[in-house]
């Protein structure tokens, strides 16, 4: 399930209840707790279960959803795709030309929330869909590690488009080239 997909009717109802101050802690609200946990996985609700006490609280993202009718992360990948001067990617038709200069990406900071790794992976996949090849140059070891984790996250959470796979190689110590290839992985189950 994609984190930013629209909510179904029941989830929207539960988000409205929690946004209105109902913590779903009473016996009459037990039927809404599974939906509240689904909302928690999307970052719209925070659930606290200690002992027999159950409490759901709306998050800032949940308030945003109630106000705007969409997840705050929806559409952010395209808005955040603006590149900095240090960063350049090669379009697919320019992939064979090594004459063009390449620049590295801005430094990646350590993710501070669960949604940041997801957001980074979605942004990478969107860039790969548009450009097919992304060159990452002049990376520190920590940045290389962060990119590896982002690529792995995209693969493990089904963010790679169907019928495609992500390949990456390291032509030099501080560089990485990431490609979106139209093929399934050779070791994929038949």
What pTM was computed for the model? 0.42
Pair 80, 36 in one domain: no
Pair 25, 95 in one domain: no
**How far apart are alpha carbons 97 and 70 in whole angstroms?**
41
**How far apart are alpha carbons 52 and 72 in whole angstroms?**
32
Q: How many CA atoms lie within 13 A of 36 on its CB side?
A: 24
**How far apart are alpha carbons 166 and 154 in whole angstroms?**
9
- Residue 89: per-residue pLDDT: 42
Return the SS3 of 136.
strand
- State the DSSP H helix or E strand holding residue 125, giving kind and residue range, or none if neither: helix 114-131
Retrieve residue 119's tokens: 């957001």
Pair 126, 54 in one domain: no
Pair 105, 174 in one domain: yes
Identify the DSSP state of 187: T
**How far apart are alpha carbons 56 and 58 in whole angstroms?**
7
CATH number at residue 148: 3.30.110
CATH number at residue 51: 1.10.10.10
Pair 64, 90 in one domain: no
**How far apart are alpha carbons 146 and 128 in whole angstroms?**
17
Pair 158, 102 in one domain: yes
Residue 28 lies in a domain: yes
Place of tokens 């940045």: 143
**How far apart are alpha carbons 113 and 42 in whole angstroms?**
12
Residues 6+ apart with CB under 8 A from 94: 100
Q: Please give the chain's pLDDT, 190 residues, in tens.
A: 478 888 888 888 888 888 888 888 888 788 888 888 889 888 899 988 877 788 899 998 888 888 888 888 876 543 443 333 334 444 444 444 443 333 344 444 555 556 788 888 888 899 898 888 888 888 888 888 888 888 888 888 888 888 899 998 877 778 889 999 988 766 665 5
- If one counts the domains in the chain, the total is 2
Its domain, for residue 57, covers 9-68
**How far apart are alpha carbons 11 and 19 in whole angstroms?**
12
Residue 35 lies in a domain: yes
- Residue 156: per-residue pLDDT: 85
- Residue 44: per-residue pLDDT: 92
């Amino acid at each position: 399930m994609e984190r930013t997909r629209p909510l179904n009717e029941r989830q929207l109802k539960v988000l409205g209840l929690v946004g209105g101050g109902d913590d779903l802690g009473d016996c009459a609200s037990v039927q809404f707790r599974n939906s509240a946990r689904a909302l928690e996985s999307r970052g719209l609700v925070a659930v606290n279960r200690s002992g027999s006490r159950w409490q759901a609280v709306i998050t800032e993202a949940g308030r945003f959803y109630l106000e705007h009718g969409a997840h705050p992360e929806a559409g952010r990948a395209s808005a955040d795709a603006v590149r900095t001067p240090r960063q350049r990617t090669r379009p697919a038709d320019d992939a064979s030309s090594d004459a063009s200069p390449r620049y590295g990406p801005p430094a990646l900071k350590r993710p501070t929330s669960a949604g940041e790794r997801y957001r980074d992976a979605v942004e990478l996949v969107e860039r790969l869909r548009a450009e097919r090849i992304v060159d990452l140059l002049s990376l520190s070891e920590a940045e290389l590690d962060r990119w590896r984790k982002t690529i792995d996250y995209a693969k493990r959470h089904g963010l790679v488009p169907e019928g495609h796979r992500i390949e990456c190689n390291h032509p030099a110590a501080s560089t990485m080239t990431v490609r979106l290839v139209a093929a399934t992985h050779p070791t994929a189950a038949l």
